[in-house]
Amino acid sequence: MIRIAMLSYWHVHAWDYTKQAQNHPDVEIVAVWDEEAERGQASADKLGVPFFADLDQLLANPDIDAVIVDTPTNLHYEVMVKAAQAGKHIFTEKVIAPTLQEVNGIIEAVKSANVKLTVSLPRLNDNYTLAIQEVLEQNLLGELTLARVRLSHNGAIAGWLPEHFYNAEQCGGGALIDLGCHPMYLTRLFLGMPDSVSAHYGYVSGKEVEDNAVAVLKYSNGALGIVEAGFVNAHSPFSIEIHGTEGTLLYGTPEPKLLLRSNKNDAGAWTELAADKTEISAFDQFVQHVQNNTEATENVGLAVDLTALMESANRSVRENKAISINELEK
């Protein structure tokens, strides 16, 4: 049995991870810490487990094997380095941290302590992603020239997103670093790492952080990746377009169907592809890594790249220019 402590209920998905842990036969939630004591105590009472007001005291407890981190993003570095140094395995909400320098510090602490780290990048495991990867492996699109991935909702105008999600200090940004993480790591998966990133942010609802965002990833072969995210859009479907010299693949335009048209197919027309393969959740993978003493190498690698892309996008907006990935401080 893996005994887990919940570190904060700040994030909107904290209770989702709680349910995943509760539903796993090899996991038990045994403690809660929260940077807001009142929220933490209420969460602990709801779960029927002890609340620790002091993080160091919780991490010193030998009866805790692992932690789920859902703190504000700006606390990730401090919390995860402490957790690793205390010998606790870590499952965390994305992003690992707002800057590549902080991420590398966390990775170093994890490796030094020989603990496991897994990051929640859920759309890597979805059926459409796995089906798209098969198409790309078969080279049915030829040389890839453009990928566009969009994810948006109406949280800022409908009022259901927590107010602290508009706090620039806590979040490290707005729509792009929150919702835009998913299209960003998918674009990275499909096209690889770009040479540079340029971004533009919009402020429709008057919040402190951007609620409308586009980032463009530029590649040495001329390919482009377009990442779109927003908090101010009604009925905006999650959509993927991947274009190449020999074909095009579409998903969510607007129905959740995967459509392919390729010069390499005999049909030469739009064909709906089956997307029936799935992968277990990131949390279930985390449990397996702890049990089997294996590493989430691909997951963590993509999460590190995700932070590099997000940091580049934020810098691009601040400096009003494209940012080379090589410029980032490591």
Task: From first to last of the 330 residues of the chain, give the pLDDT tens digit.
Answer: 999 999 999 999 999 999 999 999 999 999 999 999 999 999 999 999 999 999 999 999 999 999 999 999 999 999 999 999 999 999 999 999 999 999 999 999 999 999 999 999 999 999 999 999 999 999 999 999 999 999 999 999 999 999 999 999 999 999 999 999 999 999 999 999 999 999 999 999 999 999 999 999 999 999 999 999 999 999 999 999 999 999 999 999 999 999 999 998 876 789 999 999 889 999 999 999 999 999 999 999 999 999 999 999 999 999 999 999 999 988
Determine the pLDDT at residue 268. 74
Backbone torsions φ then ψ of 202, nearest 5 degrees: -115, 155
What residues are paired with 152 via a beta bridge? Answer: 230
Are 260 and 253 in contact by the 8 Å Cβ rule? The answer is no
What is the Cα–Cα distance from 323 to 181, expressed in whole angstroms?
18
Are 64 and 86 in contact by the 8 Å Cβ rule? The answer is no
Are 8 and 70 in contact by the 8 Å Cβ rule? The answer is yes
Determine the pLDDT at residue 278. 86
Q: Please give the class, per CATH, of domain 123-280+310-327.
A: alpha beta
Under DSSP, the state recorded for 95 is P
Are 236 and 152 in contact by the 8 Å Cβ rule? The answer is yes
**pLDDT (tens digit, 9 = 90+) per residue, 184-194?**
999 999 999 99
The segment(s) of the chain belonging to CATH 3.40.50.720 are 2-115
- CATH architecture assignment, domain 2-115: 3-Layer(aba) Sandwich (3.40)
Backbone torsions φ then ψ of 32, nearest 5 degrees: -135, 140
How long a stretch of residues is the chain?
330
- CA distance readout (Å), 127 to 221, 259, 283, 289, 303: 29, 14, 17, 22, 20
Other Cβ atoms less than 10 A from the Cβ of 293: the count is 8
Q: Which residue has the tokens 């691909």?
A: 298
Report CA dihedral (261, 262, 267, 273) to the nearest 10 degrees. -50
The segment(s) of the chain belonging to CATH 3.30.360.10 are 123-280+310-327
Determine the pLDDT at residue 267. 66
What is the Cα–Cα distance from 139 to 135, expressed in whole angstroms?
6
pTM above 0.75, yes or no: yes
Are 133 and 192 in contact by the 8 Å Cβ rule? The answer is no
Antiparallel, parallel or unpaired: β 144-152 and 258-262? unpaired
